[in-house]
Each structure stands twice: as structure tokens, then as C-alpha cells.
Structure 1
């Protein structure tokens, strides 16, 4: 495993995306434990893309316009749904007096769907992993699986870190209704913009 792979993976994982935004929102709205669950769900959502890349299924998304568009617009629809869900006062970012705990299953399911319904991730891993593997050598599949597991571990660690930061700031944020309202709109707007970006993205 090369230092180039580790550094590149770290930069990719640190870049704010749907998973980071979701984990931050859960951390602020539900606390530290829930943010760890959210990070775990988002990490699990990477698994199908990694498997697809290793077995070559992501090539279908690359070559089939119909398959790509179907997955993409399912992803767009889910991002819009997440924007609407967070914008509601009964969503993930609730005022303390209205606080209801989201179940771990619901948090994990949302995190998984956010990443599963992003076809760009499959194409990313299809282009990313082979750069650090001699695909013609024996055992290359095992090596790619190893790299993928390292990438997932880094994703989980970084997302837990993001969630912890959000959870630490929670007490200072939830006591200020105006700040909570602004954050709710900001997170909803971020998901809406990510949905728009995915809708307008080129294959």
C-alpha cells in the first residue's frame, strides 16, 4: 500500500459531500452516538460501489446511458427528499423541546441510501482503485479489496470525527433557536444543491 493511495484517499474522504453533510446534521440534531451510527451507515453505502467496481458492474453505468440515468435520478429524488426532511421542524434538526430520537435503523438506512444512489461513486472507484494495483498480476482482486477496506476505514474514522465536532457544538447551537433555524435551512439547501449538481452532472 503506497503513501500516495493513503494521501489521495484522505483528501477524497475529507471533501464535504452528502455523507459528511448528513453526519454533521445528525450530530447536531441527535448527538454523538447517533452521529457514529450515521457515519457507519454512510460507510456501508460505499460497499455496493466497491463491489461493483471490482467485479466490473460499474462499467455498465459507464456504457449504458439508461442505467446511469435511472440510478442518477433516483439519487436526485432522494437528495431532494432529504432536503425536505431536514427542513421540517420534526426532522433530524429539531428543537430540544420537540426532540424525538431517530432509530439507529432509520439513521443507517438513510446513510446507506445517500451513497448507494450516487452512480458517480461507482465510476470513481472504477477509475480510482486500479491506479494503485497491477491489474494484470495474480491476486489483484484481493489487493483491490484490501485497498477498499482501508478506504472504508478512513471514511468511517473521518466521518466519526466530523460527527464528534458537530455533537460537541450541539449544546451551544440548540439553545439558540435562530441558529437552529438557520442551520436547518442551510443543511436543507446543501442537500438541494447536491441534488441539482447530480442532476446536471455529465456522465
Structure 2
């Protein structure tokens, strides 16, 4: 492949495998799909994808390098991301499963889901460092236009991530529809998922700059 991109298919396969690893993004898509249907999960996946564009652009143009080299910048973004994830977890744990029923959804509801997905991803400094460490391995050091090569690989990775997000949304919505869980069970599911979000937030708070 051109643009100094090496081992393109290895990059694609590695990216797909990495997307399968559970994390805050996949958890958010699954929780929205299970409780509010496939469309809500789809919107969540698109919001996360837009958040990933922020990291791709930042890494391609050197902003992530600043984050990687500055302990202060990393700590500030880490704290913001931690607070947001914990807030999301508490909100999910305290929410009523009847409030967000699909029949009551409107454009404002989907905008909120999109925004939450975007912030869940874009406020996670670990995602920025991941792109900075992973993508350059597949770019020739002698390539004069490394930023363009980085963006191309980032777009390929993000496309596969959004595709996987939609598959996860469909699976989660389908399983939830078949289970036909009781309101009480749905409420405990919300609490469990909220607890996992809070866990991811606390784990981010305890992470260190590599």
C-alpha cells in the first residue's frame, strides 16, 4: 500500500482484535442497545466514532505527543475523564428503566446519547496514547507525509470500530428483546452497568503516564 504504510492487513486484523476487547466504549453501546434498542446503540456507536476522530487528528498532528510527554496535561485530562465516567456510572445506576423506553425517545434523546458517546471516548487520554503508540508501527519512518498516512490508518481503524459497534448494538438489542427482562431485572442491570462505568473511571484515575 502507498503512503509508506506497511503490513496493512496486519494492521486491519490487529485493529479488529483490539476492538473486541471490552472497554467503556463497548460497554456504553451495549448498555444503550440493551435498554433502549438498536437505534440508540447505533447513535452511541456513531458518537464514539466521532470522539475517535478527535484522537486521530490529535495524534496525526502532534497533540497526543504533547499529552504523552506532559505529566500535567495527562493528569488533567485523566481527572476530567475519570469524573465523567463516574458521573455516567452513577447516572446509569440511579436511572429508571421506564424513563428511557424506546417509545418515548425523540431527537433530543438521541442527541444526548450521541453526546455522551462522544465524551466517553474523547475524554479518555488512554485512547490518545493508544493511537500514538499503535499506528506509527505501520508507517515507514522515511515517509515524508506521515500525518496523511496516520489519518488514513486511523480512518480504517475507526471504520472497523464503528462497524463492530453496530454489530454489538444489534446483538445486545436482540438478546434484550428475547429475554424480555422484568423491570426489576432491568433496574439491577442498570446498576451493574453503572458500577462497571464507575470502575472504568476509577481505573483511569489510578493509571499512570507510560
Aligned partner of 1:152 among 155, 158, 163: 158
Partner of 1:101: 105
Partner of 1:197: 203
Q: For 1:120, what is the secondary structure of its paired residue?
A: helix
Separation of aligned partners in 2, 1:42 and 1:26:
13
Separation of aligned partners in 2, 1:173 and 1:82:
25
Partner of 1:56: 62
Q: For 1:155, what is the secondary structure of its paired residue?
A: helix
1:8 aligns with 2:14: yes
Q: For 1:45, what is the secondary structure of its paired residue?
A: helix
Aligned-residue RMSD, C-alpha: 1.6
Q: Which whole-Å deviations, capped at 9, do the CAs of 1:126-176 have from their partners, x for residues lacking one?
A: 111110001321333222211111001001000111111111122234542
Partner of 2:4: none
Q: Which whole-Å deviations, capped at 9, do the CAs of 1:95-154 have from their partners, x for residues lacking one?
A: 3x8734262211110000001111111111111111000132133322221111100100
Regions of 4+ moved over 3 Å: 172-175
Number of residue-to-residue matches in the alignment: 199
Partner of 1:83: 89
CA contact (8 A) 1:173 1:179 kept: no
Separation of aligned partners in 1, 2:184 and 2:41:
23
TM-score, normalised with respect to structure 1? 0.92
Aligned partner of 2:147 among 110, 125, 141: 141
Structure 2: any 5+ residue segments left out of the alignment? 2-7
Separation of aligned partners in 2, 1:141 and 1:171:
44
In structure 2, the CA distance between the partners of 1:146 and 1:29, relative to structure 1 (3 Å rule), is: same
CA contact (8 A) 2:90 2:195 kept: no
Separation of aligned partners in 1, 2:165 and 2:64:
25
